[in-house]
Structure 1
């Protein structure tokens, strides 16, 4: 999948040059605009600075814009950040698929490491389960594109998503809002803060109860099961305590918990079943299942932050956290009313982190550095029930890791206009894993009571397939271990041409953690870490007070990609053949542009463009050909307009936007599931009373009711001469898709004081 990036880049540069000429005229025309461009502050480099002075490709969306556009979950941020994919993954509402610039992780199984890091108040979310965050008391969302290996460490080879909650103001505040909408949507959000000791001790809280009926239904399901498909039932709570004993000291304690009790999502069969007489459903949101429809994703964690401003130049910060997640889930791979290929599974993980950070600012340089420690345990079990074969393949185990890192990054003024960024991180990591792989007769489930009346049968064979023989008796009785170390540098130069124009160029490197195969059927070695080298050049410019153009060209080399394919063994139906190793690499070149034009004091236009060109190379030992990058469209575009109208009854904000994603693959090793390019139109009206207490908004999303794939499963044995699918794993032609939300309308009303 290789195109002519040279022609594309030259074309892009020509277009940007032509646009720049027009932009100059527009800026001169609007220079008297009193409203003008707003100053946007970000913490992409772990210090507060202006977006226009930050030499990083970053998109920042603040609380006001999130509310005006009705953005309710973190996945909707993909519509505003170029070359970004944030989507709910397959069988649950809460599991995240994240890709930036073609780098991410498609499989959410325990033990696999993400390629895009998720951070909430600088606390790392290690697993995709529960990472589809509903926005509650948020200050802003930052999307950092490209490797962030120096300041953010492992598993940020594609980039990082930063979720920043609001700091307390020190006064008594309360905010209550309710939302009703399509499919019986009924949401309640309550947030507030109370000063316990004036100017010193504050307590804040947040609570959300989010409900919606399903977009479709399970046309066939076990008796007594809820048949709604794509419904929503989420509760979330947060408590924050902030303490400021003096002007120089700040302490914050955060606790949060969320529980997603939405039904497990059922996929839409894209090919008729050979073993049942159920037709392909009329609606893409309808499905069939032989499993229970219940599902659960539970997350709970706490963090502690301490900040000490030692002097006007030096500050010290400590961030500690502990998080755990638990998710029993039902995944019907075949999506039929019989148990051809059913997977009841359990994911269970916990981790702790500690980070000690210091920042020093002088007239001609600044330095940020620190120490970081991560200790995580990720375990799980899935029972692949193969009803046609009368058995269950059972896989269970743990994939645990410990990581220690030291990092430093400095910005140095070489001249009055030229500065240099120099950074490095050194990481040492150790992993240990064991995997049990075997089979049981009949239908087996992770624990008794999974279905009504179930009693687990005797185990016939559950040998350990991944581990170490410590006694020399031929039995694997200890976890297998591997360790790695990595030095990840960053070098950049920034030239401040004038107060409104900055040119920058940088080289950065990131790595994604090595891992063991959690589906291992043999005693195999771990895959080594992935490494991404990235080069960027860009310009950030404000043309007077009316126009802002941020343009970046980049090229990244993604080496040692951990390529995993699951194929049935034709000689033994009880064995899922595996291939886990560093068997592929990719090169991605691209250009990204983010443009804001303030046409008048009341009217603003925003445009974002992302264009990618990728080449994928694979190890000759891989017999299944790679056909491209998954979840990565070549082109993404977004255009929106925002109009503010002041009236006697308050302020109205009208917003309309169009978002386009080019065609993309769901899986890298086949093009059976390929989403064609599509566009989505959204519109909103927001209102705030003159005293600022009452507010409301009306939001229409996906108004053209586009149908688009988010994920799926493909288990077929090939294609015959007539183009028909041949039976695959489970003895059926299983091709199923999971889709994004249909057209929805919602109304929100709130009161705050």
Structure 2
């Protein structure tokens, strides 16, 4: 079935790597005993809200100590027994990060797919594991949070990376502390908070495709006591199209974004801190929905001719003489260009109370909403046949209450309660346009309409207990017990018999599940700068429904929950007088009842649906590294190898049994790596020149479970570079930047149409972009 022949990463290989990791940690430990040890970085932050100084402490001439809050308390990255990559504000600025897609160049074993012409169809793949659809009946497999608030729908994930302090990417199941929808991993975005200083900046940027960007921030105190302070951040991005609709010459893949974030911090007492955050984002895009590369049996016979050549004279709609052939490159040829609009709002209140005996009580109360609308040409061609829209509306409320602190000199605890409520409604409508009569003789008909409304309530108890067995051996045990209740009201109404295969459906269904997601970790501190760990964790994602346009019967809509068990051995090291850092993890993940999107032929008609595939295994190794090569030159990057395949996957095509066992999971390249060089050159005037050069590579991967060659993404590499000048007192700077400098053309998605017409559509990553950025700080 088109399986890829790969060099498999065997269990024996993983065992050998694990033994090697332990031996290496011992050798490094032995070598350090004879060398001068770097002074241990003291962690002075007392609450999570003050951990935003993520790279504060540093040894003279050594690497900065990265502070993370992935375990709900501030601690050094090197002390966390888990596979984590971090990117700080300066690194985000150097790569010109505008969205989550840009993080891929610095994070091994993490892939972002979905296409740059849509903000609402973002898919995040960690260790080859993810969720492949965005309908409201399906949960995401990777959790994304902003300042501790989980975003319930993937359509909210791809936001502007503005005013960000750092990003933490956690690989492997994180349900114990990060919560629901983290079966593959989690991405935590931490914004910059006001700290009482008065100042701000204005940043302007101009680039090719007429890209124009303005960012601004202002902050200061609001009262005479200087214990209440605020910050406001503004963002505006516009860009012309990077492709063209050859039908009418209109720009496609344009961007128009406005955003704002207001934060108010109160430190009116020594023990209580309140942080109020309000954010808003509006996107407008002109989209193609995908480049049509194959008209299939429905449109194929009519491609490449002029409308005026059809029998019966010029059909209504397209102008006489319009070329209806397939477009070239990433262009589209559509009678109507699509439009996407998205509005995201959020309000959160975080209260941190420093109790007696060193305990900290934290409350996060949050409300968020999403409204995403997209209209597009459902036949994706120059013919005026099918037109429609998709819409998703969502509101969520969450409340987290937790306590963290030291039970004794050798034990620590984090425990809490979490409540989440969400209403998500997805709808779609397809209308038949008059020109379809020219081909079929069937007059226009009423629309095909679909609506799915899913309500979710979940309540969880979670906790993690850490105990020092000895001065060097630490045992950590945690678990989350979650109860989740879901209900769906689903309707699909075909307005005419012409909608072949789409049945009329009225469904009301519900289910409840209780799950326990445990984690057990044993850490060994071989020396001051060498930590090793063994970790076993379980992850879970609840079941749901196929709630989009479907060619299914009501009893076929539901699918079951999925689960994974993760086995991980890792080590975290610093050496060469703290000028080198290498963190690595060797993992094996066993998946049961994996939820998979597949195209199936049912009664001769193609249909995409989510099913439980059976079992899958993802195993491999991932490494993050950071080196200070000279006083002014450093190198940062990572490398990952993964073998992610289906162990059992029995299904059928038109009643015939078929197996995809042994096939590679979708969007799971066997290896990926990145190499980044960062250079700072001080000048005698006190100013400096800063530059960066980053290369990242992704191996071949597949976009369907069948692993067919026509759904294969060839391996590709991307180059990012920047060079900038910083004034002597740092009050202004200017930067020249470029991304995908070799203008690599690479697929991020290849899919079939929603109507089951056999149309094949491509979405691409960004082409070469470049620009000039200038900022003034006050």
Work out whether the TM-score is over 0.5: yes
Structure 1 residue 566: Cα displacement: 4.8
Structure 1 residue 393: Cα displacement: 3.0
CA distance 1:679–1:363, change in 2 (3 Å): same
CA distance 1:403–1:622, change in 2 (3 Å): farther
Corresponding position of 2:86: 60
Corresponding position of 1:260: 283
C-alpha distance in 2 between matches for 1:274 and 1:617: 40
C-alpha distance in 1 between matches for 2:531 and 2:30: 20
Say whether residues 1:202 and 2:233 are aligned partners.
Answer: no
Aligned counterpart for 1:662 among listed residues 684, 687, 699: 699
CA distance 1:580–1:74, change in 2 (3 Å): closer
CA distance 1:625–1:211, change in 2 (3 Å): farther
8 A Cα contact 1:252 1:304, kept in partner: yes
CA distance 1:62–1:312, change in 2 (3 Å): farther
CA distance 1:289–1:19, change in 2 (3 Å): farther
C-alpha distance in 1 between matches for 2:676 and 2:607: 48
**TM-superposition CA deviations, 1:694-752 (whole Å, max 9, x none):** 12211111111101111132359xxxxxxxxxxx933xx52221000111111110011
Corresponding position of 1:719: none
8 A Cα contact 1:115 1:512, kept in partner: yes
C-alpha distance in 2 between matches for 1:251 and 1:488: 31
C-alpha distance in 2 between matches for 1:686 and 1:402: 49
Corresponding position of 1:689: 727
Corresponding position of 2:669: 633
Structure 1 residue 333: Cα displacement: 4.9
Question: Tell me, what secondary structure is at the counterpart of 1:66?
Answer: helix
8 A Cα contact 1:96 1:132, kept in partner: yes
**TM-superposition CA deviations, 1:629-685 (whole Å, max 9, x none):** 112111110011111100115122111111000011122245322110111111111
Q: Which runs of 5+ in 2 are unaligned?
A: 39-58, 305-323
Say whether residues 1:301 and 2:346 are aligned partners.
Answer: yes
Question: Tell me, what secondary structure is at the counterpart of 1:287?
Answer: coil
CA distance 1:348–1:715, change in 2 (3 Å): closer
CA distance 1:70–1:31, change in 2 (3 Å): farther
8 A Cα contact 1:605 1:642, kept in partner: yes
Say whether residues 1:288 and 2:333 are aligned partners.
Answer: yes
CA distance 1:95–1:29, change in 2 (3 Å): farther
Matches for 1:560-579 after TM superposition, within 5 Å: 560-567=593-600, 569-570=602-603, 579=609
8 A Cα contact 1:75 1:88, kept in partner: no
8 A Cα contact 2:28 2:530, kept in partner: no
Structure 1 residue 401: Cα displacement: 0.7
Computed over aligned residues only, the root mean square deviation of the Cα atoms, in angstroms, reads 2.8
Structure 1 residue 299: Cα displacement: 0.8
Aligned counterpart for 1:322 among listed residues 367, 389, 399: 367
The number of residue pairs the alignment matches comes to: 704
CA distance 1:16–1:363, change in 2 (3 Å): closer
Question: Tell me, what secondary structure is at the counterpart of 1:168?
Answer: coil
Report the TM-score when normalising by structure 2.
0.85
C-alpha distance in 2 between matches for 1:217 and 1:77: 27
Say whether residues 1:583 and 2:587 are aligned partners.
Answer: no
CA distance 1:529–1:11, change in 2 (3 Å): same
8 A Cα contact 2:115 2:764, kept in partner: no
Corresponding position of 2:142: 116
Corresponding position of 1:4: 8
Corresponding position of 1:85: 111
Aligned counterpart for 1:729 among listed residues 756, 760, 763: 756
Structure 1 residue 577: Cα displacement: 5.1
8 A Cα contact 2:140 2:181, kept in partner: yes
CA distance 1:234–1:30, change in 2 (3 Å): farther
Structure 1 residue 265: Cα displacement: 3.4
Question: Tell me, what secondary structure is at the counterpart of 1:353?
Answer: strand
8 A Cα contact 2:204 2:213, kept in partner: yes
CA distance 1:694–1:661, change in 2 (3 Å): same
C-alpha distance in 1 between matches for 2:568 and 2:748: 29
Say whether residues 1:133 and 2:169 are aligned partners.
Answer: no
Say whether residues 1:505 and 2:540 are aligned partners.
Answer: no
Matches for 1:233-632 after TM superposition, within 5 Å: 233-271=256-294, 273-277=300-304, 278-284=324-330, 286-339=331-384, 342-361=387-406, 362-385=408-431, 387=436, 391=445, 392-441=447-496, 463-467=504-508, 480-519=509-548, 521-524=552-555, 526-543=558-575, 544-567=577-600, 569-570=602-603, 579-623=609-653, 625-626=659-660, 627-632=663-668
- Bigger mean CA offset, 690-699 vs 407-416: 690-699
8 A Cα contact 2:640 2:672, kept in partner: yes
CA distance 1:3–1:358, change in 2 (3 Å): same
Structure 1 residue 88: Cα displacement: 4.2
**TM-superposition CA deviations, 1:447-487 (whole Å, max 9, x none):** xxxxxxxxxxxxxx9944322xxxxxxxxxxxx11110001
- Bigger mean CA offset, 9-18 vs 693-702: 9-18
8 A Cα contact 2:245 2:337, kept in partner: no
Structure 1 residue 618: Cα displacement: 4.0
8 A Cα contact 1:95 1:131, kept in partner: no
CA distance 1:745–1:312, change in 2 (3 Å): farther
Structure 1 residue 130: Cα displacement: 3.0
8 A Cα contact 2:194 2:263, kept in partner: no
- Bigger mean CA offset, 707-716 vs 154-163: 707-716
Say whether residues 1:645 and 2:650 are aligned partners.
Answer: no
C-alpha distance in 2 between matches for 1:185 and 1:643: 27
C-alpha distance in 2 between matches for 1:21 and 1:482: 51
Corresponding position of 2:198: 172
Structure 1 residue 54: Cα displacement: 0.7
Question: Tell me, what secondary structure is at the counterpart of 2:521?
Answer: strand
Corresponding position of 2:318: none
C-alpha distance in 2 between matches for 1:128 and 1:687: 38
Structure 1 residue 318: Cα displacement: 0.6
CA distance 1:668–1:577, change in 2 (3 Å): closer
CA distance 1:228–1:442, change in 2 (3 Å): farther
Corresponding position of 2:53: none
Question: Tell me, what secondary structure is at the counterpart of 2:125?
Answer: strand
Corresponding position of 1:720: none
Q: Which runs of 5+ in 1 are unaligned?
A: 445-460, 468-479, 717-727
- Bigger mean CA offset, 333-342 vs 361-370: 333-342
Structure 1 residue 615: Cα displacement: 2.2
Say whether residues 1:193 and 2:219 are aligned partners.
Answer: yes
